[in-house]
Chains A and B, each alone.
Chain A
């Protein structure tokens, strides 16, 4: 087991490095010149050249990548200009390992930006996760138990309807009508727990988390329903029934345990995908998390930030995969890894 985990983690790290190279190759293929973007209105060719050098885009992609990778393990400093360091060391930004590069447009190391924005995305992801897990699994069980009834149809049907609308449509609709037009809920704005306490934090999270939860909930209702129905049909439950166990006990002790394991694994993967930022929801609600930061970086050619967030998001996905696989092995003794 331990050897298995080590192997998976090592493979994951190699994969992330490979992804960083691929991402940079893609970005460097660009005919667009990021230096132009930072150069300002009255840009001259000399200024442009200086900008390009300051950004590090004057070097070939491979050496840029090697620098970047080195930074992850041993840290780095910006700008890499020995003359400047000698005469004005206070202007050099220190970026300890794991350094993910330096954003010329935010004038700070990418890791600092990510550390600052991650709690926003994580709050949103976790709040939404709790909402959809409770509602999705609950409604899924109800639907399964009342299979074929009007309740079943209503639950599955309405969930599917939310699933069919694009996220931004649902989000903006909720925002405009619930918060602005009718004033039922306060205008959503992220307040960290440190700044406003748990109350304001939750209040700010409500609408965006609800949006995200509505999008995901359909999948969970259907999954839960399907798994519960599947498990209900399995032999050991028929045995339990034959043994004369009450239906309540059967449901909770046997059916749910069997059904929840696969749901938990899917949920883990979904959460992993969301921790790296939810682009559209953050954009709609002006949540300054990783997703919206990434959009801003992508639209202003802030390559280091874009690459950094791509890699962080990928790390969450890969980690979630590993965690889920390992947990699966722990929970379900039938699964064996060698």
Chain B
């Protein structure tokens, strides 16, 4: 996702690339965090929760939303889909899909190619009409209108229905409607998806993303719907829309029947979202804890500048958990062709120094694989398990000597510069590598960063860095996305494969994993792939970014868990009066 170190929204300027805009849902790490005086069961009803945030939402249309934070806020408040993740659970329990509008978690046939769901009675839209099977079928069809509805994760449905995608252009142009009508069918309240390839973790995908959310055909106005919110959940947006740059206020939806749900607690009467604030202002407001800020929460971490103020009572309102985002260092395979040299690089990487530069243990945790620890099938990458956090320059020097290259071996490290933090972190890497016999040139880039690293024929750097979080809790959305040259290396760009990695053996394992009929079989293959990439030093796991959030003193039932990408879970939160 490469949302790396963008300390201000404005730094995004010049980060012209799409990469800057993506972030990811699902996944997470063990250990949710709960605080507040009320136990999950006896939370108080009523009051208003204020969400203070920085990054403006880009979409509120469920089929177009691709940012984890927005997906889960939508799910908890306004959009009910077939499945959901449980609210307020922690660890692996948090990412087990449970029914929402469907009666169960779906039945799969034909080796994972055919999925059927039955739609519950009594789930209503905010205008009182029932949420029907046809609404789901229509909602899913919108993924194919890639010309009108941009930005969403439609690549997943399209990938599993390639021939439908070729014939069908979505519900607006309606060309190829008959093809779609055969692929997704409604029989009474039974909804069936006929995929062309096995999709073993489809339930995970639709609980972790909103592309299969229902949509009312009579309310659909194409692109004009981007910020319109038509709810079938416990809340509805005041004025029926989100205002870009400002936010929205959510009030109770009187058509919502909690008996059809059983998961969302919907405690507060109101949620007020304010976007566009800076991390510094959010932090200082939450430290001050005045007025309505007593009931405020955020999804922005405390900047290191304020760590010294998080003491006493303020510290009780701070939570520090690993986020679903892993950052990694990667060699450019156009240049670093010698395996021993890459191994020496890995062995001398001072990850502890890097983490210190970011703000220490509160800001980041050492990563043992590019795969986040809470993803099903996670295993430490054996290739890096013997690597000390500060690196081992002596062992690395030996490897470099074995490689038989002239020393010091010159390399250029390119990174997104422009902040003291990023320069400091790069300096830590340089000192470790230099000790092992490399001669490191630091090349901080600001505006041209993505132009350089995404250029598949660029040889101006040897090493760079990246960051990634799973789209939904499946390794399928991590490793192939970053190392499958067939989807990334297209002509003028290397997509997310910044290291220009291209290895048929690795791609063969990816194909086997994707074709696996069950999630367990797939996971075994993914582990094999991760080990392969580690051995080949396609990447060096660096750190897991930590969330370090504050919340106001009047917030009850505060909980962050993997079901909501470790953001505050709005499904259980309450106001202490």
Contact = CB atoms under 8 A, between A and B. Distances in A.
Contacts of B284: 176, 180-181
A299 B10 CA distance: 6
Contacts of A301: 16
Contacts of A175: 281
Contacts of A298: 13
Contact of A88 (B10, B56, B152, B222): B222
7 contacts: A33-B16, A36-B18, A84-B148, A106-B244, A286-B274, A288-B243, A299-B10
Interface string A31-65: 01100111111111111001101100000000000
Contacts of B33: none
A108 interface: yes
Given A175-B281, A286-B276, A108 B13 contact: no
A183 B290 contact: yes
B448 to A, nearest CB: 10
A50 B18 CA distance: 15
Interface string A181-209: 10100110100000000000000000000
Given A92-B222, A106-B244, A301-B16, 15 more contacts: A36-B16, A38-B150, A39-B18, A40-B18, A40-B151, A41-B24, A50-B146, A51-B150, A84-B172, A88-B171, A186-B291, A286-B276, A288-B243, A292-B276, A296-B276
A178 to B, nearest CB: 12
Contact of A41 (B9, B66, B224): B66
A83 interface: yes
A288 B242 CA distance: 13
Given A38-B150, A107-B226, A288 B246 contact: yes
Query: Which residue of A44, A87, A286 has the most chain B CB atoms within 10 A of its CB atom?
Result: A286
Interface string B1-40: 1000000011011001111011010000000000000000
B245 A293 contact: yes
A105 B151 CA distance: 10
B290 A41 contact: no
B402 interface: no
The 4 closest A-B pairs by CB, nearest first: A91-B222, A107-B226, A41-B22, A88-B172
Contacts of B24: 41
A180 B151 CA distance: 37
Contacts of B21: 37, 40-41
Interface size on A, as a range, is 35 or more
Contact of A40 (B66, B171, B225, B287): B66
A106 B242 CA distance: 10
B245 A296 contact: yes
Given A40-B150, A40-B151, A295 B10 contact: yes
Query: Which residue of B9, B146, B152, B491 has the most chain A CB atoms within 10 A of its CB atom?
Result: B146
Contacts of B403: none
A90 interface: yes
Contact of B22 (A40, A79, A87): A40
Interface in A282-331: 286, 288, 292-293, 295-296, 298-301
Interface size on B, as a range, is 35 or more
A51 B152 CA distance: 13
A318 B330 CA distance: 53
B56 A91 contact: no
A292 to B, nearest CB: 7
A41 B276 CA distance: 22
Interface string A133-146: 00000000000000
Nearest to B61: A107
B174 interface: yes
A106 B18 CA distance: 17
B152 to A, nearest CB: 7
A187 B174 CA distance: 51
Interface string A258-293: 000000000000000000000000000010100011
Contacts of A43: 18
B524 interface: no
Contact of A91 (B146, B148, B243): B148
A26 to B, nearest CB: 16
A75 to B, nearest CB: 16
Contacts of A53: 147
A39 B151 contact: yes
Interface in B128-165: 146-148, 150-153, 155
A101 interface: no
Contact of A299 (B9, B151, B491): B9
